[in-house]
Amino acid sequence: MRIVSWNVNGLRSAASKGFLDWLQASDADVVGLQEVRAHPHQLPPLVREPEGWHTHFVPAQRPGYSGVGLYSKIKPDAIETSLGEESFDTEGRLVIARYGDLVIANVYFPNGNGKDRDNSRIPYKLAFYRRLHAKLETFRQQGDKVIVMGDFNTAHREIDLARPKENEETSGFRPEEREEIERWLQSGFVDTFRVFDQSPGRYTWWSQRAWSRQRNVGWRIDYVLACPLAAKLVKRAFISPDVFGSDHCPVGVDC
């Protein structure tokens, strides 16, 4: 089973850049998208419901903002989209799919920046992390295998971004954000990519300024985390920097 996550930075834009070709060639069984930025009725029919895929979209109330989507070759047994908190649910950040005892959460974690890039949304971001972690713990406690994929909007360690010293006060690498990632790992979640690859320079997002992607001045902020039971299933984890169409690239695991 191949599970892939990709922040597409606008699905309509990605569709114009070959998203469907990538989807069909991906060999994925489950694909989670973040930052869809569209309601389902705004998507071209072939993007909304491509042949051979079951889809589910969770848009934000605010037009052109946030939103997640799930593409699955296997019909999920159940879908959940709520954290039970309106301030989180209205932003369209979560879809959880169940396949037997495998639970896959596709998540677009908040950015900590406010309108003026002032870190004012960090408290909201951390509250979202904690609320989701608590929800996923209920699955773990009943013996489910839990995989969490998406844009976490946080680089965990210095190895996970090109310029750590310059970004110590930047949302995405603030100490309290990094500590929250560490809390998830200390609770048992496994950063699947780092199980297989400890090398530097492995990034998943690049600024669209100053030829950052060409120079590989990036951040690793997209992850696939697995609880201990699910981590035993993971045979390979990967980053696909050669896939374009967004300022992020896909990440995934083979189970």
* Active site positions, annotated: 151
Specify whether the backbone of 248 is left (phi greater than 0), alpha (psi in -120 to 50) or beta: beta
Specify whether the backbone of 63 is left (phi greater than 0), alpha (psi in -120 to 50) or beta: beta
- Which of 173, 168, 165, 188 has the alpha carbon at shortest distance from 221? 173
Quote the tokens at residue 145: 């295998």
Query: φ, ψ for residue 4 (rounded to 5)?
Result: -130, 140
